[in-house]
């Protein structure tokens, strides 16, 4: 790779973003704050990132003209989601630095590839079996047992493409409902909690790790992140070390998130890896010296890694479309009356149940007080009534 691919990229350069959702929007804000221009490629005319970018290429991710424009005008290119076509990444990488690279993204975008990669390199996961065809269901059920979760290998997120199953008949029905796509059957474990680690890694192999987040999910969607996680120092360090080892083994460059299931008296199992900033890392916007999105800019531009020190305990709560109540606005006064609570709205149109419309973060020197305030605000916004 030419030396120009490792030289620092300084403000006033144009950075490319594949994807225009909320993660791309927050990257755009961070990059523009630091003095960069941003070009977003996204086919959605109402793209949240496109609203704030210097240039919004309204085109498909495979569009030759759009890709040529990115390759010619962007100093470097990154992505906000896993499912960018491999051919797109390969084309752009032949012309400009693309971080993370296609090899890492290809592992994270496919559950089968991800599980096999983790197992190959000795990272513990929940027991699983791969189902390529309906003919393999019986053997997979015999291996894994019940209860279990059937997960489609590609394009699943936020609980989509997943089904809890308690017998072989339910597996067959769920497999058919998922169109006979390749799936992973995974043991449904008794979880003590769920954790995640967000980190930044550069090409020199240096790693900056954010504090461990304790995550609460409802219906497969992240509801709340509590940071620092309410776990032992030993468990937190084990999660941090495992996430760093995964990034190193991948020779990863960029922001990476690793999700963990905690079982059996404090044993961390790797659930998923995400080659991008992560929902559970949104607390970094308000509670850390450098946000995960500034870190994304820094790793993309070959700059020194940002400081990840958390200056205040934080509780981040997702705002889903449910709280808009038939397109009426949530009770914003209940949130904005708290000066230590920070609101982030993503600029999305058409609030729908389960759709991530924004988030808020409660900050306090006492984590318990921050959590109590987060729950109080959530109840007053109406969020709890829609998740019972």
CATH number, domain containing residue 380: 3.30.470.20
The count of residues in the chain is 388
For the purposes of burial, counting CB atoms within 10 Å of the CB of 332, is it exposed (0-12), middle (13-18) or buried (19 or more)?
Answer: exposed
Whether residue 132 is found in the same domain as residue 25? no
Whether residue 149 is found in the same domain as residue 270? no
111 located within any domain:
no
Q: What is the CATH number of the domain that holds 162?
A: 3.30.1490.20
Residues 6+ apart with CB under 8 A from 261: 126, 189, 191, 194, 268, 269, 271
Give 106-128 pLDDT, tens digit per residue. 999 899 999 999 999 999 999 99
Q: What is the CATH number of the domain that holds 34?
A: 3.40.50.20
Instruction: With a cut of 70, say whether residue 385 has pLDDT above it.
Output: no
Q: What whole-number percentage of the chain has pLDDT above 70?
A: 95
373 located within any domain:
yes
Whether residue 204 is found in the same domain as residue 263? yes
Whether residue 235 is found in the same domain as residue 281? yes
Whether residue 359 is found in the same domain as residue 302? yes
Q: Which of 98, 115, 141 is the last residue of a domain?
A: 98
Lowest-confidence region among 24-38, 90-104, 135-149, 372-386 = 372-386
What's the domain range around 35?
A: 3-98
114 located within any domain:
no
Whether residue 317 is found in the same domain as residue 210? yes
Q: Which of 190, 196, 191, 161 is closest to 270 using CA atoms?
A: 196
Band of residue 157 on the pLDDT scale cut at 50, 70, 90 = low
User: What Å distances lie between residue 79 and 27, 254, 277, 326, CA to CA?
Assistant: 10, 10, 9, 33
Band of residue 219 on the pLDDT scale cut at 50, 70, 90 = confident
Band of residue 303 on the pLDDT scale cut at 50, 70, 90 = very high
Q: b or e along 5-21 (b: 16 or more beta carbons within 10 Å of the residue's beta carbon)?
A: eeeebeeebbbbbbbbb
CA angle 102, 108, 110 (to 5 degrees): 105
Whether residue 94 is found in the same domain as residue 169? no
Whether residue 300 is found in the same domain as residue 326? yes
107 located within any domain:
no
165 located within any domain:
yes
Whether residue 252 is found in the same domain as residue 345? yes
Cβ–Cβ < 8 Å for 11, 77: no
Entry pTM:
0.94
Whether residue 202 is found in the same domain as residue 341? yes
Give 165-213 pLDDT, tens digit per residue. 999 999 999 999 999 999 999 999 999 999 999 999 999 999 999 999 9
Give 73-110 pLDDT, tens digit per residue. 999 999 999 889 888 999 999 999 999 999 999 999 89
164 located within any domain:
yes
Split into its structural domains, the chain has a count of 3
Q: Residue 76 has which token pair?
A: 């470097």
Whether residue 60 is found in the same domain as residue 201? no
Whether residue 310 is found in the same domain as residue 337? yes
């Amino acid at each position: 790779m030419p030396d120009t691919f490792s030289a620092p990229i300084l403000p006033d350069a144009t950075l490319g973003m594949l994807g225009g959702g909320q993660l791309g929007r927050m990257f755009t804000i961070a990059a523009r704050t630091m003095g960069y221009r941003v070009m977003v490629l996204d086919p959605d005319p109402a793209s949240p990132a496109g609203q704030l970018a210097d240039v919004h290429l309204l085109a498909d991710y495979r569009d030759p003209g759009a890709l040529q424009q990115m390759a010619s005008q962007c100093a470097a290119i990154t992505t906000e989601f896993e499912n960018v076509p491999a051919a797109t990444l390969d084309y752009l990488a032949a012309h400009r630095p693309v971080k993370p690279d296609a090899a890492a993204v290809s592992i994270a975008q496919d559950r089968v590839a991800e599980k096999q990669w983790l197992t190959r390199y000795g990272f513990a996961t929940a027991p699983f079996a791969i189902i390529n065809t309906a003919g393999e269901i019986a053997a997979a059920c015999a291996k894994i047992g019940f209860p279990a979760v059937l997960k489609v290998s590609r394009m699943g997120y936020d609980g989509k493409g997943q089904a809890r199953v308690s017998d072989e008949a339910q597996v067959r029905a769920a497999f058919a409902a998922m169109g006979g796509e390749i799936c992973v059957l995974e043991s449904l474990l008794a979880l003590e909690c769920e954790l995640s680690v967000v980190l930044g890694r550069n090409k020199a192999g240096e790693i900056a790790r954010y504090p461990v987040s304790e995550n609460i999910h409802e219906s497969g969607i992240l509801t709340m992140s509590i940071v620092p996680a309410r776990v032992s120092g030993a468990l937190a360090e084990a999660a941090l070390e495992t996430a760093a080892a995964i990034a190193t083994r991948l020779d990863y460059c960029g922001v990476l998130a690793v999700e963990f299931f905690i079982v059996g008296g404090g044993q961390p199992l790797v659930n998923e890896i995400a080659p991008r900033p992560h929902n559970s890392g949104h607390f970094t916007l308000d509670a850390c010296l450098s946000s995960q999105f500034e870190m994304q800019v820094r790793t993309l531009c070959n700059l020194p890694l940002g400081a990840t020190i958390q200056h205040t305990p934080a509780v981040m709560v997702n705002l889903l479309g449910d709280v808009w109540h038939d397109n009426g606005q949530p009770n914003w006064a209940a949130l904005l009356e708290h000066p230590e609570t920070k609101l982030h709205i993503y600029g999305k149109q058409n609030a729908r149940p389960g759709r991530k419309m924004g988030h808020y973060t409660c900050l306090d020197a006492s984590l318990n007080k921050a959590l109590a305030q987060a729950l109080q605000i959530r109840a007053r916004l109406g969020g709890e009534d829609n998740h019972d």
